[in-house]
Each structure stands twice: as structure tokens, then as C-alpha cells.
């Protein structure tokens, strides 16, 4: 490169031997600049060659490393294949790996824990069943004891009721006899009135009814008992007051003809008239005949309990009546007696 520059310089001198000094100086400067550029280029080239050599070495090293890694990989692959073959061999011979052994141990622990839980659950269920059976047995024993007491009580109660029934039966027979006696006495005493149809007396076992038509006791539309009617009530009452084991209910009945005229001011309807008549009869039986007021009761039934048709004069006459009925004493009292 230097030789080339010298030759170039010599040629330049030879060619410019006849030029001016100024021109010569310019040429020298340019050559110097060119030389500097050439030196720089030469240095860069040298550096590039060095870099190239360094890169070449690195490439060679990398190729060697790749080859080594490839060789190592092949070796590892062979080891893996060998291990795999060994595992297959162990597996075929029934020999387990450490991981399999560890897994089996974990499964054994899990099953042991599960068995323990199952055992505890079974024990809890057995205890619960035993407690339940014990409670049921206790309840059964208590029920049996209670049943025995109840049976004993019912047996005593049955005996008591049988005895009471016998007493009641005796009392009943006595009541029936009293009613029959009263009936016979009434029939005998009131024979003339019965024959006239003014009084009707009926008996059904322990019940007795004395039916007195209106004309015997009252004037038409009136509630006050006539003097002749009071005499009849006295005769009937004297016989009934002997019967002290019956209720004596006096019922007032009318026909279906409505109250009219000025009479409405006193008795607006047949309800008031029938009630007033029954009440007056009761008061006479208590005050004048002497029947115990506790046995007496009065009821006005208006026209709603007829014994004949209201379409005829005779039928309406039969419906206008006073009935004196003998009934069993208060049923509640009888029930209370049975409970004693």
C-alpha cells in the first residue's frame, strides 16, 4: 500500500514539475489527506480482519458446543430409555417403584382414616340405637304400668256402675209405679171429664200427660183461669203433688188464628197468650195446691205443636189446650249420680 502511494506521489511530481508552487502545495495537501484516509481505511480493514477472526473462532466454538450438546442429549436419551426399560422390567416382575410405594402408603393411610371414621360412626349409631331402644322399653314399661292401673280403675268403675245401675233400675221401677199410680188415680178422679172429652190422660212408661182443653180452664182469649177451671186444677194437682220424683211441665198451646182487635194490646201474638196461660196454671199449682216450685216449669208453644188440623172448628178447639206433662228429673243430675 505504501509502495503504491510513493509511486503515485512520484508520478504526481513528474506531472507537476512545471506548475506553480501554489498549485504544488495544493496537490501535496490533497495527497496527504488521501494518505490519511488510506491509513484510516487500512486500520479499519485490519480491525475488521481481527473481528472476523474472532467471530470465526466463536462460530467454531459454538459448533463444537452444539456438537457436544447433541452428544450429551443422545447420552441422556439413552439413559432415559434405559431407565424406562428398567421400570418396565421391574413392573413386569411385580416390583413397584418408590413413588408407587409412597402412593400405596398414602392410600393405606387414607383407608385407615376412613375405617376409623366408619368405626366411630358405627359406634355412635349403635349407641343411639341402644339409647332409643332403652327409651322405647322404658316408655313401654310405663305404658304397661299405666294400662294396668287404668284397667284396675275401669274394673272398679264397672263394678260401681253395675251397682249404681241396679240402684237406678230400682228407682226407675219405683218411678214407673208412681206414674202408673198417678195415672190410675187421675183416670178415676177425672172420669166424668174424660168421658166428656174435656180431659185426656195418657201414660207411656214413666211419662204422664194430662191434656185439658181450653173451655175447661179459660174463657176465649183470656189467660186467667176460670173458677170452675181452678177446681179442676185442684183435683189434678192433689194427685200430681204425690209424685215427687218427676218434673211437672205445664205447656200452653193455641190454634193458628191470629190475635185480633183490642186483645192485641195485651197479647200481641199467640206466643204471649200461650205463655201467660201456662204461667198462671203453674202459679196456681205452686201457690194453692202446694207443689214444690223446683219441680214446676211453664212453656208457651203458641200454635206450633197442634194435635189436630186447624182447618176445622173442632180441630182448632182441640189445639187450644193446656198440657201437664210429667217428665224424668234433670238428665244432668242423673249423669252426675252415675259418676259418683
User: Which string of DSSP letters, residue by residue, matches 183-234?
Assistant: HHHHHHHTHHHHHHTSEEEEEETTEEEEEEEHHHH--TT--SPPHHHHHHHH
Residue 59 burial by Cβ neighbours in a 10 Å radius (0-12, 13-18, 19+): exposed
pLDDT for res 3:
54
Determine the distance from the C-alpha atom of residue 213 to the mean position of all C-alpha atoms in its chain, rounded to a whole number: 63
Count of other CB atoms within 10 angstroms of residue 209: 17
Q: Distances in Å between the alpha carbon of 253 and those of 193, 200, 230, 284, 296?
A: 19, 15, 18, 18, 17
Hey, what's the cell of 23? Answer: 498549485
Q: How many CA atoms lie within 13 A of 207 on its CB side?
A: 7
Contacts of 323 (CB under 8 A, 6+ apart): 209, 210, 211, 212, 250, 251, 253
Cβ atoms of 206 and 182 within 8 Å: the answer is no
pLDDT for res 19:
46
Hey, what's the cell of 93? Answer: 416382575
Cβ atoms of 212 and 190 within 8 Å: the answer is no
Angle between helices 2-15 and 21-92 (to 10 degrees): 160
Decide: pTM greater than 0.85. no
Cβ atoms of 210 and 179 within 8 Å: the answer is no
Give the chain's largest Cα–Cα span: 208
CATH class, range 181-339 = alpha beta
Question: For each of the chain's 340 residues, which pLDDT tens digit applies?
Answer: 545 545 544 445 444 444 455 566 777 777 788 788 888 888 888 888 888 788 888 878 878 877 877 787 777 778 767 767 776 776 676 666 677 777 777 877 787 787 778 788 878 878 887 888 888 888 878 888 887 877 777 777 776 766 665 655 677 677 778 788 888 888 898 898 889 888 999 988 778 899 999 999 999 899 999 999 999 999 999 999 988 888 999 999 999 999 998 999 999 999 999 999 999 999 999 999 999 999 999 999 999 999 999 999 999 999 999 999 998 876 455 445 545 5
pLDDT for res 232:
94
**All structural domains of the chain with their residue ranges:** 181-339
Report the distance separating Cα 107 and Cα 110, nearest Å.
5
Amino acid at each position: 500500500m505504501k509502495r503504491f502511494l510513493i509511486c503515485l506521489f512520484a508520478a504526481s511530481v513528474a506531472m507537476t514539475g512545471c506548475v506553480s508552487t501554489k498549485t504544488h502545495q495544493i496537490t501535496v495537501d490533497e495527497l496527504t489527506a488521501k494518505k490519511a484516509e488510506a491509513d484510516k481505511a487500512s486500520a479499519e480493514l485490519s480491525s475488521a480482519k481481527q473481528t472476523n477472526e474472532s467471530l470465526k473462532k466463536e462460530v467454531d466454538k459454538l459448533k463444537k458446543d452444539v456438537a457436544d450438546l447433541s452428544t450429551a442429549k443422545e447420552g441422556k436419551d439413552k439413559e432415559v430409555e434405559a431407565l424406562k426399560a428398567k421400570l418396565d422390567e421391574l413392573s413386569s416382575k411385580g416390583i413397584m417403584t418408590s413413588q408407587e410405594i409412597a402412593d400405596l402408603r398414602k392410600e393405606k393411610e387414607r383407608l385407615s382414616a376412613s375405617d376409623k371414621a366408619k368405626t366411630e360412626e358405627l359406634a355412635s349409631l349403635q349407641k343411639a340405637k341402644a339409647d332409643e331402644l332403652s327409651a322405647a322399653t322404658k316408655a313401654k314399661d310405663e305404658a304397661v304400668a299405666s294400662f294396668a292401673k287404668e284397667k284396675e280403675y275401669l274394673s272398679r268403675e264397672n263394678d260401681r256402675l253395675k251397682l249404681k245401675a241396679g240402684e237406678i233400675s230400682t228407682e226407675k221401677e219405683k218411678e214407673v209405679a208412681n206414674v202408673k199410680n198417678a195415672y190410675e188415680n187421675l183416670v178415676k178422679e177425672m172420669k166424668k171429664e174424660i168421658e166428656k172429652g174435656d180431659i185426656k190422660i195418657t201414660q207411656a212408661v214413666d211419662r204422664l200427660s194430662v191434656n185439658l182443653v181450653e173451655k175447661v180452664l179459660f174463657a176465649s182469649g183470656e189467660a186467667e183461669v176460670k173458677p170452675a177451671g181452678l177446681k179442676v186444677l185442684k183435683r189434678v194437682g192433689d194427685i200430681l203433688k204425690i209424685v215427687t220424683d218427676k218434673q211437672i211441665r205445664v205447656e200452653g198451646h193455641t190454634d193458628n188464628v191470629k190475635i185480633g182487635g183490642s186483645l192485641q194490646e195485651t197479647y200481641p201474638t199467640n206466643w204471649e197468650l200461650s205463655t201467660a196461660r201456662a204461667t198462671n196454671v203453674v202459679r196456681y199449682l205452686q201457690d194453692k195446691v202446694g207443689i214444690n216450685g223446683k219441680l214446676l216449669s211453664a212453656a208457651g208453644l203458641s200454635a206450633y205443636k197442634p194435635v189436630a188440623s186447624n182447618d176445622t172448628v173442632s180441630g182448632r178447639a182441640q189445639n187450644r189446650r193446656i198440657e201437664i206433662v210429667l217428665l224424668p228429673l234433670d238428665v244432668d243430675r242423673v249423669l252426675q249420680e252415675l259418676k259418683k
